[in-house]
Amino acid sequence: MNELKPEISRTEDGSDSLFNASLNEFYHSKYGAVTESEHVFIKSGLYEIINDNSPVHILEIGFGTALNAMLTLKEINKRQLVFYTAIELFPVDMEIAQKLNYCDAGDMKFYHEDFLKMHQSEWEKEIDISQNFKLKKRNIDLLTFQPEANCYDLIYFDAFSPNVQPELWTAAVFQKLFNSLKDNGILVTYCAKGIVKQALRQVGFVVKRLPGPPGKRHILQAIKNAKTKNTHCPKKMFHLFDFEAGITKR
Ligand SMILES: C[S@@+](CC[C@H](N)C(=O)[O-])C[C@H]1O[C@@H](n2cnc3c(N)ncnc32)[C@H](O)[C@@H]1O
C-alpha cells in the first residue's frame, strides 16, 4: 500500500469517511460511516461485553479516523473503565482529522475535544482521554504486531477489505488475535466473505453471521470458546437472513 494522503468523502448518512486512492478503497461504508460503525462494532461487539462493572480491554485493528474509538467512548459514557489499544500503520494527519465532521452536531459536540485528543495523543503510550477511557495507539504493522495472550475482551477488526489487503485476513493473523482474546472474547468485523469465515473457524473461533448495516447483507461475530457463553442477539436488533453474503467491498 503506498502512502497517498486519504481524502475526505461524505457518506450517505451525512458522516465523513476517508478514501484511499492508491487502494481505491473507502475507510467505511459509503452508505454511512457512523451507521456502519455503530452497527458492526458497537451493537454487535461492545453491547455484548458491557454488562457488568469490570474494566474492558478492547483492541482495534486499523485506528484510522478514530471513529470506532470515539463511538466506544460515547457509548460507555463513564459507566466502565476502558483500556483501548489501537494499531495503525498509516496514521491520519491531524490536518485531516480536524476536518472530520463526527463531532459537529447534536450530542456529539460534547465529544469534540476527546476526539481531537485521541488524534493528538502520543503513540506507544497509554493516555487518559477521559477519566475512564485510556487509549494506547501503536504505530505498527498488523503482520508484525505481537499482542499479549489472553488480554482482550473484544477486537474490532477494521482492516481494509480482503479484496485489497488479503494478507491481513489470513488464519495466521487470526490465530494471534484468537490467542490475544480472553475466554469468551469476541472479534467483530464488517466483512462476511467466505474465506474470512473459514480462516476464523480454522483457528478455533465460533463464527456467527449477523445482519449487516445498510448496503451489506452480513457481518461476522467470532467468539473464542463460545460454548460457555450465551451469545444470542436481541431479536429487536437482528433478523438473520437466509442468503449468502455477497458484498465484500465497502
Ligand atoms: C478500513 S480503514 C480504518 C477504519 C478505522 N477503524 C476508522 O474508523 O477510520 C483500515 C485502516 O487500517 C490501516 N492499515 C492498513 N494496513 C495496515 C497494517 N498492515 N497494519 C495496521 N494497520 C493497517 C489503514 O491505514 C486504515 O487506517
Residues 187-192 have a mean pLDDT of: 98
Q: Does residue 214 lie in a domain region?
A: yes
CA of 228 to the centre of ligand 1 (A): 32
Q: Tally the domains of the chain.
A: 1
Q: Does residue 245 lie in a domain region?
A: no
Angle, helix 67-76 to helix 112-120, in steps of 10 degrees: 130
Q: Does residue 85 lie in a domain region?
A: yes
Instruction: Provide the phi-psi class of 13: left if phi over 0, else alpha when psi is between -120 and 50, else beta.
Output: alpha
Average pLDDT, the chain: 90
CA of 210 to the centre of ligand 1 (A): 23
What are the tens digits of pLDDT across the range 161-184?
999 999 999 999 999 999 999 999
Residue-level pLDDT at 226: 56
Residue 96 pLDDT > 60: yes
CA of 237 to the centre of ligand 1 (A): 28
What are the tens digits of pLDDT across the range 127-151?
999 999 999 999 999 999 999 999 9
What are the tens digits of pLDDT across the range 29-85?
999 999 999 999 999 999 999 877 889 999 999 999 999 999 999 999 878 999 999
CA of 227 to the centre of ligand 1 (A): 31
Q: Does residue 5 lie in a domain region?
A: no
Which residue minimizes the CA distance to atom 8 of ligand 1?
Answer: 67
Q: Does residue 12 lie in a domain region?
A: no
Looking up residue 175, the CATH number of its domain turns out to be 3.40.50.150
Which of 89, 155, 188 has most ligand 1 atoms within 8 Å of its beta carbon, as the pocket-test mutant? 89
Q: Does residue 67 lie in a domain region?
A: yes
Which residue minimizes the CA distance to atom 25 of ligand 1?
Answer: 90
Spatial neighbors of 6 by CB under 8 A, at least 6 apart, are 18, 19, 20, 21, 27, 92, 96
Residue 238 pLDDT > 60: no
| Structural domain range at position 96 | 34-228
**Which pTM does this prediction carry?**
0.91
DSSP the chain: ---PPPEEEE-TTS-EEEEETTTTEESS-TT-HHHHHIIIIIIIIIHHH-SSSS-EEEEEE--TTSHHHHHHHHHHTTSS-EEEEEE-SSPPPHHHHTT--TTSSGGGGGGHHHHHHHHHSPBTSEEEEETTEEEEEE---TTT--PPTT-EEEEEE-PSPTTT-GGGSSHHHHHHHHHHEEEEEEEEES---HHHHHHHHHTTEEEEEEE-STT-SEEEEEEETGGGS-----TTT----SS-------
Residue 231 pLDDT > 50: no
CA of 24 to the centre of ligand 1 (A): 14
Check: CB of residue 93 under 8 Å from CB of residue 100. no
Q: Does residue 236 lie in a domain region?
A: no
Ligand 1, atom nearest to 17 Cα: 9
CA of 57 to the centre of ligand 1 (A): 19
Residue-level pLDDT at 227: 60
User: Which pLDDT band holds residue 100 (cuts at 50, 70, 90)?
Assistant: very high
Burial class (CB in 10 A: 0-12, 13-18, 19+), 33: buried
> Could you tell me which of 219, 159, 152, 161 has the C-alpha nearest to residue 186?
152
Residue 236 pLDDT > 60: no
Which of 58, 84, 142 has most ligand 1 atoms within 8 Å of its beta carbon, as the pocket-test mutant? 142
Residues 110-121 have a mean pLDDT of: 97
Q: Does residue 202 lie in a domain region?
A: yes
Which residue minimizes the CA distance to atom 5 of ligand 1?
Answer: 64
- Residues within 6 Å of ligand 1 by CB: 1, 27, 62, 64-65, 67-68, 87-90, 141-143, 158-160, 165, 168
Residue-level pLDDT at 50: 87
% the chain with pLDDT above 70: 88
The whole-angstrom separation of Cα 87 and Cα 20 is: 18
Burial class (CB in 10 A: 0-12, 13-18, 19+), 140: middle
